[in-house]
Amino acid sequence: MMAGRKRGSVEDIVRKLRRADELAAAGMTQEEVAAELEVSAAPLYNWRR
């Protein structure tokens, strides 16, 4: 069996996006922000869209 994709709740996504803004303001790159939040860069991009 294949593992399904993990989907976060809306609250989790909003929390991660706010944290991503804080980290980006502190001078971290998108790749560093994604690693800190334990997601890839693609979900961050898609969540903002």
C-beta separation of 33 from 24 below 8 A: yes
Distances (CA, A) of 40 to 1, 11, 16: 23, 18, 12
Domain span holding position 30: 10-48
**pLDDT confidence of residue 16:** 95
Q: What is the reported pTM? A: 0.79
In a domain, residue 24? The reply is: yes
In a domain, residue 5? The reply is: no
Note down pLDDT in tens along the chain; length 49 residues. 555 567 778 999 999 999 999 999 999 999 999 999 999 999 999 998 9
In a domain, residue 30? The reply is: yes
Domain count along the chain: 1
